[in-house]
């Protein structure tokens, strides 16, 4: 969603821009975003912010979209084969989720994905299809399957590790154990999915 920008008056710079809104929202974090908080961060009233963003959900989508656009998805030239690439892609998702709590619902729900987010996803699918000699449908299936699993499980892991630890529980050790389980599960998924494509004669 694009935030409407008012023209500057009396030579003053515009205070409310999409970029400033996004920067403030990213700094605050999606789970803690409020209109009052974002408005205060950019130095305007929350009523002024309402003139640029319709409601709290639209504000969160704007911030989530900017987070997603800043995500540097690994490129195919970084890996010699498809399985290696998918492992790097999965690692990137895990790090992305860890860095941005609360983002996952805005990524895995197609109904809230913006046009620019969908364009980035489709462009990535086309890039991988060409790089590893996959059909568009196979690239879409493989990337979507792995991404959905990684986003959902990583979100669960990092949501759980953010909770108050139980008495006598080593929170760091617990986090490492869950992260290891996540990595092993993702490897199994990728090996199986890439193997299915190979059996079907798709991919190299």
Q: Is residue 23 part of a domain?
A: yes
Q: Which residues contact 177 (CB under 8 A, 6 or more apart)?
A: none
Percent of the chain scored above 90 by pLDDT?
A: 71
What distance in Å separates the CA atoms of residue 38 and residue 46, rounded to the nearest whole number? 8
Instruction: Convert the pLDDT of each residue in 24-67 to its tens digit.
Output: 999 999 999 999 999 999 999 889 999 999 999 999 999 999 99
Average pLDDT in the 174-203 region? 89
41 to 8, 36, 59, 66: CA distances (angstroms): 19, 9, 14, 17
Instruction: Convert the pLDDT of each residue in 121-132 to its tens digit.
Output: 999 999 999 999
The answer on 153 and 86 residing in a single domain is yes
Q: Categorize the per-residue pLDDT at 76 as very low, low, confident or very high, splitting at 50, 70 and 90.
A: very high
For position 165, what pLDDT does the model report?
A: 65
Of 66, 94, 125, the position where a domain reaches its end is 66
pLDDT at 112 over 70: yes
**CA torsion through residues 155, 159, 160, 161, sign:** positive
Q: Is residue 4 part of a domain?
A: no
CATH of the domain at 169: 1.10.357
CATH of the domain at 55: 1.10.10
The answer on 140 and 81 residing in a single domain is yes
The answer on 30 and 83 residing in a single domain is no
Percent of the chain scored above 70 by pLDDT?
A: 90
The answer on 146 and 58 residing in a single domain is no
Tokens matching residue 45: 């009233």
The answer on 78 and 162 residing in a single domain is yes
Say if residues 158 and 95 touch (Cβ distance below 8 Å): no
**CA torsion through residues 40, 45, 50, 56, sign:** positive
The answer on 166 and 135 residing in a single domain is yes
Say if residues 82 and 204 touch (Cβ distance below 8 Å): yes
User: In the predicted model, what is the mean pLDDT of the chain?
Assistant: 88
pLDDT at 167 over 50: yes
For position 2, what pLDDT does the model report?
A: 45
The answer on 59 and 88 residing in a single domain is no
Q: Is residue 1 part of a domain?
A: no
Q: Is residue 36 part of a domain?
A: yes
Q: Categorize the per-residue pLDDT at 201 as very low, low, confident or very high, splitting at 50, 70 and 90.
A: confident
**What domain range includes position 33?**
18-66
Q: Is residue 8 part of a domain?
A: no
What distance in Å separates the CA atoms of residue 171 and residue 183, rounded to the nearest whole number? 18
Average pLDDT in the 77-93 region? 94
Q: Categorize the per-residue pLDDT at 14 as very low, low, confident or very high, splitting at 50, 70 and 90.
A: low
For position 111, what pLDDT does the model report?
A: 87
Q: Is residue 6 part of a domain?
A: no
The answer on 81 and 57 residing in a single domain is no
The answer on 138 and 173 residing in a single domain is yes
Of 66, 89, 124, the position where a domain reaches its end is 66
- Domain count across the chain: 2
The answer on 111 and 52 residing in a single domain is no
Q: Is residue 204 part of a domain?
A: no
For position 169, what pLDDT does the model report?
A: 67
Instruction: Convert the pLDDT of each residue in 87-107 to its tens digit.
Output: 999 999 999 999 999 999 999
């Amino acid at each position: 969603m694009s935030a409407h920008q008012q023209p500057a008056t009396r030579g003053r710079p515009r205070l409310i821009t999409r970029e400033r809104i996004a920067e403030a929202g990213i700094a605050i974090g999606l789970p803690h975003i409020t209109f009052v908080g974002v408005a205060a961060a950019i130095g305007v009233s929350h009523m002024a912010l309402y003139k640029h963003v319709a409601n709290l959900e639209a504000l969160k989508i704007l911030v989530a979209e900017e987070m997603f656009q800043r995500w540097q998805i690994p490129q195919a030239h970084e890996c010699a084969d498809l399985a290696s690439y998918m492992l790097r892609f999965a690692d990137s998702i895990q790090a992305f989720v860890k860095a941005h709590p609360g983002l996952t619902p805005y990524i895995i729900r197609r109904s809230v994905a913006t046009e620019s987010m969908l364009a980035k996803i489709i462009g990535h699918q086309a890039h991988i299809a060409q790089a590893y000699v996959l059909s568009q449908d196979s690239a879409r299936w493989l990337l979507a399957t792995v991404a959905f699993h990684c986003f959902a499980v990583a979100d669960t892991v990092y949501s759980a590790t953010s909770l108050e630890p139980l008495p006598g529980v080593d929170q760091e050790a617990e986090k490492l154990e869950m992260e290891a389980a996540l990595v092993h599960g993702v490897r199994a998924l990728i090996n199986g999915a890439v193997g299915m494509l190979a059996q079907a004669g798709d991919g190299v």
